[in-house]
Structure 1
Amino acid sequence: MAAIMLCTCSGDQSKFEEMPRSPESLATRDFSASGSCSRPGKREATPDDSQVNEVESDLRETLSLNYEEARALLGRLEYQRGNFDAALQVLQGIDIRSLKPRMTSAVTESAKPKVSPRSSRRKTSQVNGMLVHMSMHSVSLLLEAILLKARSLERLGRVTDAAEECRTIIDIVESAWPDGVPEGTSEDCKLIDMFHSALEYLPNLWMRSGCFEEAITAYRRALARPWNLDSQRSANLQKDLAVTLLYCGIEVKSPQEFSQQRNLATPENNIEEAILLLFVLIRKLTFQEIKWDPDLVNHLMYALSLSGHYEVLARHLEMLLPGTYSRSERWYVLALCYSAAGMDDSALNIIRNGFRVLERKGKPHIPSLLLGAKLCCKNPKHASEGIKFANKARESFRSHDMHFISAVNHFLGVCYGPFARSSTSHTEKMRLQDDALRLLQDAAATAKYNPEILYSLAWENAMQRKLNAAIESAAECLEMVTGSSVSTWKLLILVLSAQQNLEEAESVADIALDEAEQEDQMGILRLKALIQSSRGQFKSAVESFRILLAIIQAKKEIWKLTPYDKVKSLHELEMEAWLDLASIYTKLEAWNDSNICLDKAKSIDFLSPKCWHVKA
């Protein structure tokens, strides 16, 4: 048994594990009145203090160990045998609080230049079994004891207590090495291994206990200093921190001291910090410093989609090495990014290129075809191409794929409308218009409770001057979304205006303004002002335009945080508002005010044909 303990003391666990199991536990011998010991097949008894002290005394005499080392070895042995209660009882006898100053001092001294060999041969002195000067071996053994105590507490369900114990290891090493692991420290040092294990273990314990703020702080402590973590370990911590920041649901500000240690700017919020971490990890993936992890790209997509930086996401996807994604998946994701960024033409070009390549191979990518059809629906110029994409996708569906068939019918119906209006043959135009309505009605019947299809049906009816049917579909769509669709409100106002029902159109505009958020009110305000102008209520129209321009002016103050596509649409809306206001002043023969409004519009887009048309 002494040989086993010597092997354990030296840290050679592999030899210990190869030894045959002892039928008895050093710390759990059941010295009953009959003198019999507990057998391995039965549940071992929890030791009392007298038994632990007896075995500890034997170890100290046999192996020349001090009090703490003997307890640490006993705790390790009990933990390896699965006796977590016994291990905890043994390890609780070590007073780490009183030992922390000497442990910190020993770790600090280990980084200093070595003294002469003669002086280094002095033995570690003891007073009443307590260390006066600790060796690094003793420190490593005690740190391992703390870690095993934390693991025992975790196994016994005391996760928060385990986290507090684990934090002690980091406090000791951090106090000794405030600037990270000193240069020249051996990578095989057992103390470093224990410390790295604690760095990874502590955040997991806080996460399991539901203390997300403490978990994030633990992750940041692990990454704030150069602790000589290998690339994969460091990447795992960075990924876990990024995931926690994204999904924990609480905002935890980064302490200034973390960023000051490396002269870095502090991220403004959790999402920004998570994005920066994921950028670092994607760069490591690109240079193959860490193994491939598809979750990293998925988390980055989610984070950048929350912040609206789709172009940045596209650039990082383009940096990934070939083979990371299949070509079809890569093109599809890139097209999604550019489409979300408002660059529909770029997205459509990517879909076209991918379609040509995959068509030659005879392997169509269904999501890309559906996305291509959807992009073509947004621009009437691409209607014929959208029909091609949708028909190609429908060929790959089975008869019971009702959801996909409904989506294809929807895209076909939307594309048939503008394609019919561009036809030179009246007969073909009527046929295509009928097909458009039929396909949209089939899509609405197949996919019930789909407001997008109902909106498209209302729009197509309005374009074909079937205004009553358009109002019916728009009202059904609004009822389905409980009045939260701004585009449907606008369509309903336009259809009522087309029926010359201006009073009801203005009433609907007032209802829409009450239902819409402030950001969505701008387009409705412009329609209301135009209706008031058409009714001859010029004073009310000017007041509506004044409110609209005030909202736009307030938006300008935060344009730095606004995506480019939204800024562009706000510029266009502001220019049109000034032009509409100029037209009102022209009707009132207020030429000076009209010219001022025109100058404002030209300052936004000097080369706009609309500005010069109104000027003329």
Structure 2
Amino acid sequence: MMEGRKDRGRSRSVFRRMAMQCLCSGEQANLVDELNPSNGEIELYAKNDGLREAELSLQEGGSLNYEEARALLAKVEYQQGHVEEALRVLDGINTAELIPLVKMSISRLARADPHSSYPPMSLHTVNLVMETIYLKTIALRDLGKLKEAAQECSTILDVIESALPKGLPANFGDGSNLNATIRSAVELLPELWKLADFPPEALSSYRRALLSSWNLDAKAIGRIQKEFAIFLLYSGCEACTPPLRSQLDGSFVPQNNLEEAILLLMILLMKFNLKRLERDPTVMHHLTFALSISGRLKPLAGQFEKLLPGVLHSREWLYNVALCYLAEEDDLAALNLLKMILRFGEDSSCLKELLLTSKICSENGAHAEEGASYARRALASLDGGCDQLEVVADLLLGISLSRQARYAPSGTERASQQREALKVLGVAEKKMQDKDFRVLYNLSLENAEQRKLDVAALYAKKLLKLENGSELRSWLLVARITSAQKRFEDAESIVNAALDQTAKWCQGDLLQTKAKIQAANGQFKKAVETYTQLLAVIQLRKKSFNSGNFVLQV
């Protein structure tokens, strides 16, 4: 093994020495190709056989011209880790003078017309120039000169687009590494602009890669589409509408980042389903995020349902579809999907499904008993493992029992369920030490429903202090409890304080509560005036909705 290393070292040394001799000679010869671009990188560590072949070619009387010798020397320097020296050698090659000849040669070589004039450069020489530019790009990147690297990389694509405006022919460059160099540059360019913190240029490069013909294979196009979608979703750079030349008549044109990212991700999903690409579960994760923040959950459910088996685990698939239906307020469909999971899964591995199912059931009196059952199963599977999750399960159990008590067939059963509800909520409150607003709210509400008004008022005041008066429903709870205690003036003062801190669009419930308090206190004239204010708010809201303005619900 040591002998092999010494042999390679001697070969490189001889190779470097001969390249230096050729720099001084200025003679012409062919250069053995040592670059192999693949997946955005160049394999600059040449194989031992390649070095020996090049060495033999030089020893047998061949020679190199100035540019070829410099390119060869730069490759050797880079291979040995001398990046700065490689860049210095590459700077000595005047690519600006060669580029017009490269464009002309590519244009004539692509025609494949026997009557066309002979190109000034052979395909081999064109390939050498493009590889030299790519090597300089990699060297600049490695030295942290990202903007310069991106500009150098863009030169490769500029040359091809100028020489072949309609894109690369299907079989152009066969038998050489030219196509591989171009494909590597196409994938590398947007990454360089991102690293250099030039988001608009990165966005333009992604579109350039997808809208032009570069002879990319399906995997490369899929990688670019996925990275572009991720960039659109998370970069924070707002994209402009795609250029008119890329818009087909009658086709959908995305108007913002979100729409364009969703379109790209849905194209990828279609390719997965058609088995044109290997399945990638992360694509569905990004699409879930995109459609969730767009508020379009029904289409997301449809995309989940179209997935072929194997893309997601069946339990994950059911859970995600259930979340979509739940967000669209189709609770029954979501509940049925969650029950399918719980029918076949172990409780210990289905904790989030148990809690979500209990939550859905607790909000519907017809399913309150099931909600309590699922909450108990969740508590049993936790078995003291996590206080925070136990509090959630206790809270859901308390809410379910409270809702169940309202539909109890007998007074004895109702009283038993109410006592258990208070007990469970009290346990949750002790665990959280008055620091969970959900527990305090439900404890106050349950005590108020059982006519334990003093205790209810105590918890309501703790809640108002914890939230710093930021929640409307807490103000309403305090006001209604105070009114139930026959302290009508205090209740009206509480509502007035809440009105001062609430936007006009959100004052509907407060004004309605205030009018009821005034009526209960015998102040009917004031109650009519308050209802008049409420009608004015409703009319203003209706007018705003009709004009197309978006406002919050009262």
What is the TM-score when the length of structure 2 is the normalising length? 0.83
Task: Indicate how the Cα distance of structure 1 residues 172 and 418 shifts in structure 2: closer, same or farther if over 3 A, else same.
Answer: same
Work out whether residues 170 and 215 of structure 2, in 8 Å CA contact, stay in contact via their aligned partners in 1. Answer: no
1:69 aligned partner, one-letter code: E
| Residue number among 431, 436, 445 corresponding to 2:416 in the alignment | 431
- In structure 2, the partner of 1:544 is 534
Work out whether residues 27 and 51 of structure 1, in 8 Å CA contact, stay in contact via their aligned partners in 2. Answer: no
CA deviation after TM superposition for structure 1 residue 498, in Å: 3.5
CA distance in structure 1 between the aligned counterparts of 2:164 and 2:519, rounded to whole angstroms: 75
CA distance in structure 2 between the aligned counterparts of 1:304 and 1:405, rounded to whole angstroms: 31
CA deviation after TM superposition for structure 1 residue 322, in Å: 1.8
CA deviation after TM superposition for structure 1 residue 363, in Å: 7.5
Residue 91 of structure 1 pairs with residue 68 of structure 2 = no
The superposition leaves residues 406-430 of structure 1 with CA deviations (integer Å, 9 ceiling, x where unpaired) of: 1111110000001112212222211
Task: Indicate how the Cα distance of structure 1 residues 398 and 304 shifts in structure 2: closer, same or farther if over 3 A, else same.
Answer: same
- In structure 2, the partner of 1:112 is 111
CA distance in structure 1 between the aligned counterparts of 2:355 and 2:25, rounded to whole angstroms: 74
Residue 491 of structure 1 pairs with residue 497 of structure 2 = no
Greater mean alpha carbon deviation, residues 66-75 or residues 298-307 = 66-75
- In structure 1, the partner of 2:9 is 21
CA distance in structure 1 between the aligned counterparts of 2:431 and 2:357, rounded to whole angstroms: 22
Greater mean alpha carbon deviation, residues 252-261 or residues 52-61 = 52-61
Matches within 5 A, 1:360-399: 365-399=350-384
Task: Indicate how the Cα distance of structure 1 residues 71 and 555 shifts in structure 2: closer, same or farther if over 3 A, else same.
Answer: farther
Residue 54 of structure 1 pairs with residue 24 of structure 2 = yes
Residue 350 of structure 1 pairs with residue 337 of structure 2 = yes
Greater mean alpha carbon deviation, residues 199-208 or residues 318-327 = 318-327
Work out whether residues 525 and 545 of structure 1, in 8 Å CA contact, stay in contact via their aligned partners in 2. Answer: no
Residue 454 of structure 1 pairs with residue 424 of structure 2 = no
- In structure 1, the partner of 2:213 is 226
Work out whether residues 393 and 408 of structure 1, in 8 Å CA contact, stay in contact via their aligned partners in 2. Answer: yes
CA distance in structure 2 between the aligned counterparts of 1:545 and 1:400, rounded to whole angstroms: 52
Q: Percent identity?
A: 35
2:412 aligned partner, one-letter code: T
- In structure 1, the partner of 2:544 is 554
Task: Indicate how the Cα distance of structure 1 residues 310 and 111 shifts in structure 2: closer, same or farther if over 3 A, else same.
Answer: same
Greater mean alpha carbon deviation, residues 177-186 or residues 405-414 = 177-186
Work out whether residues 529 and 542 of structure 1, in 8 Å CA contact, stay in contact via their aligned partners in 2. Answer: no
Matches within 5 A, 1:82-481: 82-116=81-115, 133-185=120-172, 190-257=177-244, 259-260=246-247, 264-358=251-345, 365-448=350-433, 449-481=435-467
Greater mean alpha carbon deviation, residues 59-68 or residues 100-109 = 59-68
Task: Indicate how the Cα distance of structure 1 residues 378 and 230 shifts in structure 2: closer, same or farther if over 3 A, else same.
Answer: same
The superposition leaves residues 51-102 of structure 1 with CA deviations (integer Å, 9 ceiling, x where unpaired) of: 8942766978964644433332332232223221121111112222333333
Work out whether residues 181 and 226 of structure 1, in 8 Å CA contact, stay in contact via their aligned partners in 2. Answer: yes
CA deviation after TM superposition for structure 1 residue 169, in Å: 1.1
CA distance in structure 2 between the aligned counterparts of 1:26 and 1:154, rounded to whole angstroms: 28
CA distance in structure 2 between the aligned counterparts of 1:291 and 1:64, rounded to whole angstroms: 47
1:96 aligned partner, one-letter code: T
1:173 aligned partner, one-letter code: I
- In structure 2, the partner of 1:76 is 75
The superposition leaves residues 224-243 of structure 1 with CA deviations (integer Å, 9 ceiling, x where unpaired) of: 22323222211111111111
1:20 aligned partner, one-letter code: R
2:296 aligned partner, one-letter code: H
CA distance in structure 2 between the aligned counterparts of 1:510 and 1:148, rounded to whole angstroms: 73
2:179 aligned partner, one-letter code: I
CA distance in structure 2 between the aligned counterparts of 1:558 and 1:424, rounded to whole angstroms: 48
Work out whether residues 286 and 321 of structure 1, in 8 Å CA contact, stay in contact via their aligned partners in 2. Answer: yes
Greater mean alpha carbon deviation, residues 256-265 or residues 141-150 = 256-265
2:147 aligned partner, one-letter code: T
CA deviation after TM superposition for structure 1 residue 110, in Å: 2.6
Gaps of 5+ in 1: 1-16, 30-36, 38-46, 125-132, 574-616
CA distance in structure 2 between the aligned counterparts of 1:27 and 1:485, rounded to whole angstroms: 77
3-state SS in 1 of match to 2:114: coil
CA deviation after TM superposition for structure 1 residue 347, in Å: 0.7
CA distance in structure 1 between the aligned counterparts of 2:466 and 2:394, rounded to whole angstroms: 20
1:220 aligned partner, one-letter code: R
Work out whether residues 218 and 276 of structure 2, in 8 Å CA contact, stay in contact via their aligned partners in 1. Answer: yes
CA deviation after TM superposition for structure 1 residue 348, in Å: 0.8
The superposition leaves residues 567-613 of structure 1 with CA deviations (integer Å, 9 ceiling, x where unpaired) of: xxx6xx7xxxxxxxxxxxxxxxxxxxxxxxxxxxxxxxxxxxxxxxx
CA distance in structure 1 between the aligned counterparts of 2:318 and 2:6, rounded to whole angstroms: 54
CA distance in structure 1 between the aligned counterparts of 2:96 and 2:450, rounded to whole angstroms: 83
CA distance in structure 1 between the aligned counterparts of 2:475 and 2:196, rounded to whole angstroms: 48
- In structure 1, the partner of 2:45 is none
3-state SS in 2 of match to 1:321: coil
CA distance in structure 1 between the aligned counterparts of 2:205 and 2:503, rounded to whole angstroms: 40
CA distance in structure 2 between the aligned counterparts of 1:358 and 1:300, rounded to whole angstroms: 26
3-state SS in 1 of match to 2:10: coil
Work out whether residues 526 and 548 of structure 1, in 8 Å CA contact, stay in contact via their aligned partners in 2. Answer: no
CA deviation after TM superposition for structure 1 residue 459, in Å: 2.2
Greater mean alpha carbon deviation, residues 183-192 or residues 421-430 = 183-192
2:282 aligned partner, one-letter code: D
Task: Indicate how the Cα distance of structure 1 residues 484 and 178 shifts in structure 2: closer, same or farther if over 3 A, else same.
Answer: farther
Task: Indicate how the Cα distance of structure 1 residues 266 and 101 shifts in structure 2: closer, same or farther if over 3 A, else same.
Answer: farther
Gaps of 5+ in 2: 31-57
Q: How many residues align?
A: 516
Work out whether residues 200 and 237 of structure 1, in 8 Å CA contact, stay in contact via their aligned partners in 2. Answer: yes
1:426 aligned partner, one-letter code: G
The superposition leaves residues 294-348 of structure 1 with CA deviations (integer Å, 9 ceiling, x where unpaired) of: 2111111111111111111111111111233232222222111211222112111
CA deviation after TM superposition for structure 1 residue 530, in Å: 5.4
CA distance in structure 2 between the aligned counterparts of 1:511 and 1:18, rounded to whole angstroms: 87
3-state SS in 1 of match to 2:254: coil
Work out whether residues 371 and 396 of structure 2, in 8 Å CA contact, stay in contact via their aligned partners in 1. Answer: yes
User: Higher relative contact order at CA 8 Å, sep ≥6: structure 1 or structure 2?
Assistant: 2
3-state SS in 2 of match to 1:465: coil
CA deviation after TM superposition for structure 1 residue 165, in Å: 0.9
Greater mean alpha carbon deviation, residues 222-231 or residues 62-71 = 62-71
Work out whether residues 23 and 66 of structure 2, in 8 Å CA contact, stay in contact via their aligned partners in 1. Answer: no
1:135 aligned partner, one-letter code: S
- In structure 2, the partner of 1:592 is none
Work out whether residues 358 and 364 of structure 1, in 8 Å CA contact, stay in contact via their aligned partners in 2. Answer: yes
CA distance in structure 1 between the aligned counterparts of 2:173 and 2:21, rounded to whole angstroms: 39
2:154 aligned partner, one-letter code: R
Task: Indicate how the Cα distance of structure 1 residues 66 and 155 shifts in structure 2: closer, same or farther if over 3 A, else same.
Answer: same
CA distance in structure 1 between the aligned counterparts of 2:459 and 2:26, rounded to whole angstroms: 85
Task: Indicate how the Cα distance of structure 1 residues 199 and 438 shifts in structure 2: closer, same or farther if over 3 A, else same.
Answer: same
The superposition leaves residues 92-124 of structure 1 with CA deviations (integer Å, 9 ceiling, x where unpaired) of: 1222233333322322223224215xx77x6x6
The superposition leaves residues 24-48 of structure 1 with CA deviations (integer Å, 9 ceiling, x where unpaired) of: 557976xxxxxxx9xxxxxxxxx9x
1:550 aligned partner, one-letter code: L
CA deviation after TM superposition for structure 1 residue 549, in Å: 2.8
Greater mean alpha carbon deviation, residues 297-306 or residues 483-492 = 483-492
Greater mean alpha carbon deviation, residues 208-217 or residues 508-517 = 508-517
